[in-house]
Amino acid sequence: MKRTSFTDDACPVARSVEAVGDWWSLLIVRDAFIGKKRFGEFQTSLGVAKNILTVRLKKLVDDGVLEQVPASDGSAFKEYALTEKGRGLLPVIAALGQWGGAGSEFRLVDRKKGKAVRLEFRSADGHRLAPDDVKLVHGAAV
């Protein structure tokens, strides 16, 4: 399907959409966050055709979200790892997970303490805000 490209869009939301390439590719990113590394692991997890997965992985590598690294066990398999840019997608995955609601098979924890973590809106002085108290407005940051 032909569509407008948002690569040069002034809006970072639009650029992010373009950079991830496909909505669905976020599920590969989610799997990478929970520790999946190999083509076969992604394929088993997502149940998609190999040719489609190949294209999506290539796009994520081309866009700098994933990188190919030597297998951690020294075997000939290539592994995929999140880059720093890719790791920056955790809030997007977390926000989607929280929106998807109950029944999650995933959860966010503090890497050091293992305690539950939430994604929240906070004002500059650290006050917690409900989503309905937050407004998206047009105009550069002041």
Residue 73 CB, shortest distance to a copy of itself, in Å, is 20
Residue 133 CB, shortest distance to a copy of itself, in Å, is 5
Instruction: Look up residue 117 and give its two tokens.
Output: 């973590």
* CB-nearer residue toward a copy of itself: 66 or 108: 108
Residue 74 CB, shortest distance to a copy of itself, in Å, is 25
Instruction: Look up residue 42 and give its two tokens.
Output: 């992604």
* CB-nearer residue toward a copy of itself: 61 or 92: 92
* CB-nearer residue toward a copy of itself: 74 or 125: 125
Helix axes 25-33, 90-100, angle to 10 degrees: 100
Residue 78 CB, shortest distance to a copy of itself, in Å, is 22
Q: Determine contact, residues 30/93, Cβ cutoff 8 Å.
A: yes
Q: Which amino acid is at 94?
A: A
Sign of CA dihedral 23, 29, 33, 35: positive
* CB-nearer residue toward a copy of itself: 75 or 85: 85
C-alpha to C-alpha distance for 94 and 117, rounded to whole angstroms: 10
